[in-house]
Amino acid sequence: MEQNDCRLCAYLAKGAPSNVLDGVMGDLLVDCSICGHAAISEDARDAIDDERVSREALRGYIRNKGSAKKPIRIEAKDVPEIVREGESRLEVLDKLEHFLLLVAARSKQGGEAVGFSLSSDYPLVYARSAKEMGWMLRELRDESLIVSETATAKPYARLNTKGWERVAALRAASGAGRRCFVAMAFGDEYRATWEAIARAIALVGFEPHRVDLKPHSELIPMKILADIRRSRFVVADITGHRNGVYFEAGFGMGLGRPVIWACRRNNLRRAHFDVKQYGMILYNDPPDLAEKLEDSIRAQIT
């Protein structure tokens, strides 16, 4: 068992007794250099037990989604996503690719050395231990993708040209570039909404993209599907409840793209019951949407 005061560490430790969390009512507050920073609801903890979520999946999700400044709250509806992301990084090669993308995301400029703590940062790359993370650093170095040093007090990784080329290929293959596909109703009455969405996306450093189409009865054009494939994530504003918006969001989810759902508060009653299980940005007006969407993108995507 890892020796610290984190109750989640104790709960996730191999062979931990089932009563480790007895007495925890309401949210389990996590503030740990290893597990990260989060509030986990009682319903979420039950779902985590039912789904037998691995500690690598849970810790990796918390560490990649939250921070000390912006802890995340995990509810039962979030557990399927935790499972899905964890399963996508079960294999060693998937972990190595994630590690490479993480170094790129933390590099503000070419040639920058990104520091890590092997003893506490290994959940970031879904590793089982500090030892595995150290091995991953050495493997990436031996593949001539990074310059790295693990024998110092502060190990670091720096992408070289070959590493940046691999990152570009991985991003292109997974749609993990800077594009965001926006699925929403079109028309003059939605212009201010579009401008709010586009502004929020741009403020976080992504490129908002939408395709305006005239009404038609044919299948969704292949161009839309291709645009979603090239996007890192989807923003779906279901206000107006156009069938195409639901379709495009569902197609994005099928590809594994994160979907951020939004709906004008006074329009939620008409929402399809299938999407009500997902976290939904409820907004009163375009400025309210812009503020909430920016926060959501920073928490879920960056």
Backbone angles phi, psi at 208, to 5 degrees: -70, 140
Whether 62 has a pLDDT exceeding 90, the answer reads yes
Q: Look at residues 119, 151, 174 and tell me which one is the last residue of a structural domain.
A: 174
**Does residue 2 sit within a domain?**
no
Q: Is the same domain home to 18 and 38?
A: yes
Q: Is the same domain home to 163 and 197?
A: no
d(CA 27, CA 224): 41
Q: Is the same domain home to 186 and 272?
A: yes
- Cα torsion for 157, 162, 164, 167, to the nearest 10°? -100
> Contact, 64 vs 124, CB < 8 A?
yes
Backbone angles phi, psi at 79, to 5 degrees: -60, -40
pLDDT, tens digit (0-9, with 9 covering 90-100), for 207-244: 898 877 444 444 557 778 888 888 889 999 999 988 88
Whether 116 has a pLDDT exceeding 50, the answer reads yes
Q: Residues 6 or more apart from 82 whose CB is under 8 A from it?
A: 48, 53, 57, 58, 61, 74
CATH number (domain holding residue 193): 3.40.50.10140
Q: pLDDT at position 213, please?
A: 47
Structure tokens at 90: 């079960």
Q: How confident is the model at residue 18 (pLDDT cuts 50, 70, 90)?
A: low
Domain count for the chain, please give it: 3
Q: Is the same domain home to 295 and 270?
A: yes
Q: Look at residues 15, 48, 82 and tell me which one is the last residue of a structural domain.
A: 82
Q: Is the same domain home to 191 and 289?
A: yes
Share of the chain above pLDDT 90, in %: 47
Residue 302 buriedness (CB in 10 A; 0-12 / 13-18 / 19+): exposed
